[in-house]
């Protein structure tokens, strides 16, 4: 009787341990330690982050290598993580810019945009997000004219190695905008660069 009971208990322990092991190795199970705001990032995604005051700035791209035939997707996002439930920022057409350097040709690709004053309300803990859209130009005598013409056409990048970063430039209003007692603080900071290769 004792041996029979011991065997049953041993069998139950083996089944329990096996079940736990199979659940841990299940690729569909997300570790609970991953913060909810970045849990959606797939393996292979390149992401860089910077912090300034109560703000977090990120840049993200889907992979480190692209082909010349596929679009390159780059996203910047900004989050306010301070004490207030919401704040107002002022910025140009966008709060983001995307400095890019093509390192095999040593070419800096300017990011230009209109400069109206736009105000955006940011709620604490929510991301303000923008997908990169090509911007820039060249002159008739620009030595990099042919490359820039190719780069600015379509959603894909010409072959080469690129260093990308996200930059945030905005004014933080401490109070209601346009009021005499409102304090304005300028912010301008950028992420570390991430490198992608296009073949």
Give the pLDDT confidence of 92-121 residue by residue, as tens digits. Answer: 999 999 999 999 999 999 898 999 999 999
Q: In whole angstroms, what is the distance from residue 190 CA to residue 93 CA? A: 17
Other beta carbons less than 10 A from residue 74's beta carbon: 22
Same domain, 113 and 78: yes
Picking from 58, 199, 174, the residue whose alpha carbon sits closest to that of residue 127 is: 58
Question: Which structural domain, as residue segments, surrounds residue 104?
Answer: 32-198
Q: Identify whether residues 42 and 23 lie together within a single domain.
A: no
Torsion angle of C-alpha atoms 120, 121, 124, 126, degrees rounded to 10:
-60
Please count the structural domains in the chain.
Answer: 2
For 12-71, the pLDDT digits (tens) are 433 333 344 333 333 333 333 434 444 444 556 789 999 999 999 999 998 999 999 999
Residue 150, domain CATH: 2.60.40
Cα distance between residue 164 and residue 130, in whole Å: 15
| Same domain? 114 vs 150 | yes
- The CA distance from 61 to 117, in Å, is 28
What's residue 43's pLDDT? 54
Residues 62 and 15 grouped into a single domain: no
Closest CA to 160 of 72, 43, 76: 72
Same domain, 23 and 51: no
169 alpha-carbon distance from chain centroid: 16
Does 168 lie in the same domain as 88? yes
Asked whether residue 182 falls in the same domain as residue 92, the answer is yes
Give the helix/strand (H/E) hosting 10: helix 2-24
Q: How would residue 133 be classed by pLDDT, with cut points 50, 70 and 90?
A: very high
**Residue 188 burial (C-beta neighbours within 10 Å; 0-12, 13-18, 19+):** exposed
Tell me, yes or no, whether 64 and 87 share the same domain. Answer: yes
Q: What is the pLDDT of residues 142-199, one digit of tens each?
A: 999 999 999 999 889 999 999 999 999 999 999 889 898 999 999 999 999 999 999 9
Question: At which residue do the structure tokens 């029979």 appear?
Answer: 4
């Amino acid at each position: 009787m004792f041996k029979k009971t011991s065997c049953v208990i041993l069998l139950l322990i083996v089944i329990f341990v096996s079940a736990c092991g199979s659940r841990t190795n299940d690729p569909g199970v997300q570790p609970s330690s991953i913060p909810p705001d970045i849990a959606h990032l797939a393996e292979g995604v390149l992401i860089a982050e910077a912090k300034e005051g109560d703000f977090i700035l990120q840049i993200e791209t889907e992979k480190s290598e692209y082909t010349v035939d596929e679009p390159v997707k780059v996203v910047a996002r900004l989050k306010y993580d301070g004490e207030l439930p919401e704040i107002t920022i002022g910025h140009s057409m966008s709060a983001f810019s995307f400095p890019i350097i093509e390192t095999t040709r040593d070419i800096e690709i300017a990011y230009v945009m209109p400069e109206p004053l736009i105000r955006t309300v940011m709620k604490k803990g929510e991301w303000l997000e923008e997908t990169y859209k090509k911007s820039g130009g060249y002159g008739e005598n620009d030595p990099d004219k042919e490359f820039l013409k190719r780069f600015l056409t379509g959603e894909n990048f010409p072959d080469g190695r690129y260093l990308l970063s996200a930059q945030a430039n905005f004014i933080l209003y401490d109070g209601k905008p346009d009021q005499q007692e409102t304090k304005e603080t300028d912010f301008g900071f950028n992420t570390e660069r991430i490198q992608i290769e296009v073949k």
